[in-house]
Structure 1
């Protein structure tokens, strides 16, 4: 789906690394397991594309309903198919 915005969402690799570390703590994953720089970079890239696609689909959903503002209901409507498409 084409982007509605010329600006792209960006996630810093450091932010992704922090999320990974928090997730390891939450799930009691072995502390010696680490993500490589390339692994964190790839996750940041995937997160950017996921969020960009979610925004585009939510905008399209709002437009199809004649709305000029995207709300949480538009995101809820597009999320199931988006999750399937990203699996």
Structure 2
């Protein structure tokens, strides 16, 4: 499960540009997640342009975290240990 500070970091990074290192790490993780049977469609409340809206995205069925945001936090780990170290 994402720690509260990781949740904020992941959401923030999903809205703004990230370093090349974080972008590459996220892309590597998302390749694994796209093929994972535990990646499921889920709705999350997101804030865009000063408006709250429900958005469907992929989430991890094991921990419940939104995959894109989780992949952007270098200290996060896959609950199935599928991400490379």
- TM-score over 0.5 for the alignment? no
Larger Rg: 1
- Structure that is richer in helix per residue: 1
TM-score with structure 2 length normalisation? 0.29
TM-score with structure 1 length normalisation? 0.29
